[in-house]
Structure 1
Amino acid sequence: MEEPELEPLGVVENEFAAVHLSIDRRGNGPRLRIEDLTTEHVGYLDALTLEALAWADEDRIRALLDPSNDRWRDRTQ
C-alpha cells in the first residue's frame, strides 16, 4: 500500500492563529506543510528547518512572531 502524498495531521489553533498541518510527500523527501487558515498562505518546513526550530532560543522565536518583520510588509517590493 502506497503512502498518501498529503497526510493530514490536524489543526492547531488559539485566539491568535489557526493552522492546518500535514506531511507532504510530493517533493524529494517528506516535509511539514503548514496552511494558515485565515489567509490560506502555505509554507513548508523540512527536517533540517524543524531541527533548527527545536534548537532555537526564545529570542529568535520571538523575532519570528513579530508580524511587522514579514506579514505586514508589501511583498511586491
Structure 2
Amino acid sequence: MQIPPDVVGNEFAEVAVRVDTEANSPRLRLEDLKTGRVRYLDALELETLVWLPDGHLAKLLDPSADRWREDNP
C-alpha cells in the first residue's frame, strides 16, 4: 500500500512530496502538480540544498532561466 503524498503549495506552485523506497536507497520524489514532471532527490542532493548559500539558491528560483523557455524539454 502506497501512502498518499503530502502537498506543498502556495500561489505560485504545488508539489506532491513523498519518500520513494523503490531504488537502492530512500529518496525524495517530487512531482510538479501543474505539469506532472517528476524529480527524485537522494540524500546527497538534499544535503547539498541544505548547505547551499542563499544567493546560490536564489539563482535557481528564477523561472525565466529554465522553466518557461521554449527549448526546455
Contact 1:8 1:21 in 2 (8 A): no
**In 2, Cα distance between equivalents of 1:39 and 1:58:** 27
Match of 2:64, SS? helix
Are 1:15 and 2:15 matched, yes or no? no
Identity %: 53
* More helix, by proportion: 1
**Match in the other structure for 1:58:** 54
Say how many residue pairs are matched: 72
Q: Does 1:75 align with 2:72?
A: yes
Structure 1 residue runs of 5 or longer lacking an equivalent are: none
Q: Give the alignment's Cα RMSD to 1 decimal.
A: 1.6
Shift of 1:58: 1.0
Greater Cα offset, 62-71 or 27-36? 62-71
Return structure 1 stretches of 4+ with deviation > 6 angstroms. none
Q: Which runs of 5+ in 2 are unaligned?
A: none
